[in-house]
Amino acid sequence: MKTISQTLNLVSDGLPFFQAEWPAPANVKTLVSTRNGGVSQAPYSSLNVGSHVGDRPENVARNREIVQAAVPVPPAYLNQTHSSIVLPAADVPGSTPEADASFDRTGTAACAVMTADCLPVLLCDRAGTVVAAAHAGWRGLAGGILQNTLAAMQADPGEIMAYLGPAIGPDAFEVGEDVREAFCRLHSSAENAFEGIGSGKYLADIYALARQTLRREGVNLIYGGTHCTVLERDTFFSYRRDGQTGRMVSMIWLEKPAGEAV
């Protein structure tokens, strides 16, 4: 398994993507984009795939083409609203429905979520029969997006593995009492994910909150959760850091056996 520094070195060597570092089945494929390798200009430089952030549409389209060239099936881009809605990825290409997660068993689409501080969670079962991707900002996490995604996968939670993609890290995610209360009123153990810094403010660990949620649902095979989109300025977009900025995409799909129709 590569270390964080080795993964980032691959990115700095000119690769605009990296793969999830986890022991997923061979037919489960992933792509996590960075901010590098695209055509957009500042403040969206350069591989912005978000069509809703003010970037020139032709640049977003070209950036999505760059991503598509590395993925053999169409990505299921969603209109993300911090909801708890989960859809079949195979129904999405050609439209942009409101949802914050998708799942797939068909191998005909890539589950995709866009982020720029929120947490992308990629999921699969150990048999390689179902995959999913969830956009888990703090509102989605508190609202049940991971629970709904796991339910849609219809797999034994003990057989599911999760990869926590690049998100705002625990040293950068400053929140108010409202965010802390949203989690602690659900589960008192959430207090361990918040560090008081005075004046009613806290540093929140979104990775820890996601791990707690997954483990409560019976998922114990959890990987990733080591990046910080705010601090790794040259690698990731960050809305918290920059305000007007682009979006990365995290994708997961099932690879069909050679010769099998998609």
Residue 186 lies in a domain: no
pLDDT tens for each residue of 21-64: 999 999 999 999 999 999 999 999 999 999 999 999 999 999 99
Is 179 inside any structural domain?
no
In a domain, 95, yes or no: yes
CATH number at residue 226: 3.60.140.10
Instruction: Give the domain extent around 106.
Output: 17-169+219-254
For 175-189, what is the mean pLDDT?
Answer: 96
Cα 178 to Cα 103, 147, 171, 192: the distances in Å are 31, 22, 19, 16
Tell me the pLDDT tens digit for each residue of 194-228. 999 999 999 999 999 999 999 999 999 999 999 99
pTM: 0.92
Whole-angstrom distance, CA of residue 180 vs CA of residue 80: 23
Phi-psi region of 63 (alpha: psi -120 to 50; beta: other; left: phi over 0): alpha
- The total number of structural domains in the chain stands at 1
- Residue 4's pLDDT band (cuts 50, 70, 90): very low
- Segment 55-69, tens digit of pLDDT: 999 999 999 999 999
Q: For residue 129, what are the contacts with CB-CB under 8 A and spacing of at least 6?
A: 105, 155, 254
Answer for the pair 35, 59: CB distance below 8 angstroms, yes or no. no
